[in-house]
Structure 1
Amino acid sequence: MITEIAQIEIHPGQEQDFEEAVAKAIPHFLAAEGCDRVDLHRSVEHTSRYRLMVRWETVEHHTVTFRASEGFARWRALAGPHFAAPPQVEHVYSVLAP
């Protein structure tokens, strides 16, 4: 499994709207081939900063399959207007787990 971590900066004052947009977008992620889980985390120190964490079977399930899908277009239409900057995305995998 691969975890996509997207750091997303939101326009100040739009946090609640962004969270609602992500809630509406989650079914589009979960319907995507290879998607296992979606979590949204908000920074305590930087309240307009979020980390969206999505578990994928492979990197390609995110970068090829999902990004070419209608689900991705819906995600960006819902959440994109709240972005203060393009998301910073990386993919990680576990090397040590209990």
Structure 2
Amino acid sequence: MILEVAILQVRAGLADSFEASFKEASQMISSMKGYVHHELQRCLEAQNKYLLLVKWETLEDHTEGFRGSTEYLEWKRLLHHYYDPFPVVEHYTNIEL
């Protein structure tokens, strides 16, 4: 299992519109091969800051499958214009304790 993590800085004044667009975009990502779960969290301390967490079965399900798909083109169209700066996306794996 892979956890994709992105901190999203949304342009001032666009939070409501971003959240509506994200709800629409969620339907695309959740239909992808290897998708497990996702959530979007809004920061309480910093206005217009969000945390996106997506669980994938494999790294390639995200980096090749989703990002190489037509669904990703629509995801980009719906969401990428909201970000400033553009987010850094990182991937994590669980450590068994």
Q: Scaled by the length of structure 2, what TM-score is found? A: 0.94
Aligned residues: 97
Gaps of 5+ in 1: none
TM-align CA RMSD: 1.1
The aligned counterpart of 1:53 is: 53
Question: Residue 81 of structure 2 corresponds to which residue in structure 1?
Answer: 81
- Following TM superposition, the consecutive aligned residue runs of length 4 or more in structure 1 with deviations greater than 3 angstroms are none
CA distance in 1 between counterparts of 2:24 and 2:96 reads 33
Counterpart CA distance in 2 for 1:86 and 1:78 is: 14
Secondary structure of the structure 1 residue equivalent to 2:53? strand
Query: Where do 5+ consecutive residues of structure 2 fail to align?
Result: none
Q: Distance in 2 between matches of 1:57 and 1:19?
A: 26
Aligned partners of 1:36, 1:14: CA distance in 2, in Å? 28
Find the counterpart in structure 2 of residue 35 from structure 1: 35
Aligned twin of 1:72: 72
* 1:45-98 CA-partner distances (Å, limit 9, x unpaired): 11211111111001111011100101111111111121111111111122147x
